[in-house]
Structure 1
Amino acid sequence: MIEVRDLETMDRSALAALWTRTFKRPVPARMSQPMQRRFLAHAVQVARFGDLPPAIATRLDRIAAGSERKASPALKPGARLLRTWNGVTHVVDVEPDGFRWNGARHRSLSAIARAITGARWSGPRFFGLMTELDQNEQGGGRKRTGSAVRSGGHR
């Protein structure tokens, strides 16, 4: 059985032969060798370890099609969020039942973002937890006047 590491040393003709055996058709015209190696590496891994469970494959298809948004990263208790706004660095600690900022407990990041800025902000957006794609979907292409840093771990 071929190993993924073997793909790196294969020349164009060996890759093409493996492609034809694996996918039962010739390599698509103009497909680069690095791209061939990626597809073949996936096929080798699937043959060895099995494919994704159907539910996960279906969900990934929905995400790729844009019909399901990716979730914001899960924040675990002990994580600390840092956000500089108008020259002041704000520290928010993630707790099991909410968030702690300036010594007070808050139920949501959005409430903290509103308290800091005086405006209605999405808390995950304000603290830099949303992906660039999420921000563009929600009109977040605006310039921000602060910086956000997320750190994990315990205090």
Structure 2
Amino acid sequence: MAHRATTRTVAATAFALGALTLLGGGIAGAAPASTPQSVQASDPVFSSTVTLSPVTGAKIGTAIALKAKITPAAADGTVEFKDGTTVLGTAQVGNDGTATHQWTPTTNGKHTITATYRDKNGDEDGTTTATVTVGDTNPGGLGSLGSLLGFGS
């Protein structure tokens, strides 16, 4: 029985530490090992999928929702949203597996949006990118000046 308890302890220790070298002789009643024994263990692989909802109609100065969906939906953690290398913000993943951040673009053109999921321990567990094209506030129109001159509404 003592041998079984020792085996369980060694297995649990190997899992917790990731790698354990057994030199023998350290366990009461065990014969010393002639060569070191090595036990390798790895952390379980947790794989989550991150999907960004398509963003259309983005305009300078107008808030728009960036929405990431994490699967499995039961994932617990946060999503960090970036525009290129600039951090836009972090949002908590809800019970439905979504995280949403309101973004107000300040420049037009193409923006590379990245959503990075981190689990409840802060470990990165998934990432995705999407290109969002941001248009001008009022493309091609005269705006309020057009209304004053009798053009438009």
Structure 1 length-normalised TM: 0.22
Q: Judging by fraction of residues, say which structure has more strand.
A: 2
Bigger Rg over Cα: 2
Structure 2 length-normalised TM: 0.23
